[in-house]
Amino acid sequence: MAQTEPTMRYRFMRALLICFFLFISCVGMAQSIMGKVVRIIDGDTYDLLTPEQTVMRIRMYGIDAPERSMPFYSKSKDYLASLCFSREVRMEMMTTDRNGRVVGKTFLPDGKEAGEQMILAGMAWHFTRYSSDQNLHEAEQSARKEKRGLWIDADPVAPWDWRRQKRGN
């Protein structure tokens, strides 16, 4: 099926932005961008409208939130929306993932990092496979101890285990 002109333009602009950020990271310049959160995809992914009017899909660094059909999926997504939807944020790009999404830290208007806030509220896990961030580790330990959010369950299933189980079926 032939792609429409806007779809091709969107993909081209997205690829161009990703290349730009990769170039910046190679030369050691600052890797942050201001933008407005215009859509919440789930508890660890959102769309950012840049000053150039380009929409970038952002995967939040160091966290993994419940997948659709998992307990706490809706609560996690809603909590992320309460933190940043329709707000100006600063995103620091860390890398890109295998799906072409920008992976970055998201700083809220009050200066707090959104991923850490998600973990503190018990709405996401620290994704230790890709992050050894001590702040995220401590946030998860605090949420577990206080039984906040998903930690109210006796033995919550981590998203990476749930995905592995689903692939096995």
**Catalytic (active-site) positions:** 59, 67, 101
C-alpha distances out from residue 141 to 21, 40, 134, 146, Å: 33, 26, 11, 9
* DSSP collapsed to 3 states, 119-154: HHCCCCEECCCCCCCHHHHHHHHHHHHHCCHHHHCC
Cβ neighbors of 106 (< 8 A, separation 6 or more) are: 46, 58, 60, 84, 89, 90, 91, 113, 114, 115
Q: From CA 35, how far away is CA 58, in angstroms rounded?
A: 11
Q: From CA 52, how far away is CA 54, in angstroms rounded?
A: 6
Runs of H (alpha helix) within 56-122 = 73-84, 114-120
